[in-house]
Structure 1
Amino acid sequence: MSSCVHRSSHLSRHLAALRQQRDLKPGQLAARLGASNLSKVGSLIRAFELGEPISDHWLQKLIAELQPDPAELRRCLELDQAESLEQLERERDAWEAWAEEPIDPYLSIRYSPGAGLVHKVPRAFCTPRETTEDREWARQLAEDWAADRLKRCPHKGILTWSRRERTWFDEHGLNPRRGSVTFEGRTTGAWMQLSGSQQRFLLGSGRELITRSHGLDQP
């Protein structure tokens, strides 16, 4: 079974119309698709019709069962693709503007998959610098500070210098590696997230919740 996921609008509405023309309820259509859990797959079908994503597996089954006209199917796919590309560009523009906003640099230490703390970088390293050399010197000081904090820590760390610039450390602060975050790789980072929730958060060294001030509110 493919793990590819599709989110549609024109196609999903067209398939919904074909289902209704055949006077089928979502659960009845699920039965025709060979689903073992009619309620679950019926809800999945209805959610897709309303704009939620669906897996390639069930989309192909829907198309095979409802048999849309090939020309109309192609038209719907082309419209959905064009709108998807437009949405992607809007998201890219929003992310680029967001990435330019300043943040408070911080060091995140991930103790386990779902638990960690952050430490604010001392303000002495964060004061705006006028020249490239000054900015590089300040960042190097921040990296040295982060490495020192990690020396006695058997966990990896990430120094988030800006929304675009990060430095990754192995256990005990070893092997610092700088890297840039792009729109395509925007999920790169360390945070906590509860199952079923879109809200990301970190815990500060004082156990306080941290979100916006550390750049976790990205588009």
Structure 2
Amino acid sequence: MRARTDRGVLRGRIHGRSLLALVAVAALVSAVAVWQFGSLRDEHDPDVAGADQPDRPRYTESAESPTPSAPVSPSLTPESSAVPETSGAPDPGSEEAATSAASEAAVTGPQCTASLELDDEWSGSISVDVEVANTGTEPIDGWEVVLDLAGLEVTGLWGLDHLDGDRYGDIMFNAGIDPGSSVGPSFQAEVEGEWSLPATVPCTPEA
């Protein structure tokens, strides 16, 4: 009877210890699970994760310091030698001065030009207008033109006087021409074969 009682007590103790061991293991497993859950929550929560980390220094690019420019050395310019000024006017007593004076007199003296323009053309004949202009600086009291016209024979005149050969001159009412003015005589000619009419003909003024 006593042996059975001892066995029952022994079994009760074994069961009690086993139950305590199971409770301890369960508590340990629960603690590990709670710790892992807390770790995972801290990793996914930025506020909690950043709270444990110290502030990191931020890197800021500094402005580039200006590079000093090299000093510019003054350029050395050699002094130019003085050149004496010379006058372009010729010596009044030289031959060059006499030639220049004659040229100026020719330019500023009486000048005239004579131009031709076809006015009309019909069977075997043409009529031509002549413009005699004073292109000088002084009035002219008469003029002369040369009508050397290939293939044309002058047959009629108006405001022209036949002098000799191909030379024709003014008549009384159109002899004088002031500077910048002109007169307009004309003539008629017969056509002989191939002919041509020049744009201008020689003109000689009379002072």
Q: TM-score, normalised by structure 2?
A: 0.23
Q: Which has the larger radius of gyration?
A: 2
Per chain length, whose mean CA-contact separation is higher, i.e. which structure has more relative contact order (CA < 8 Å, sep 6+)?
2
Larger helix percent: 1
Greater share of strand = 2
TM-score (norm 1): 0.22
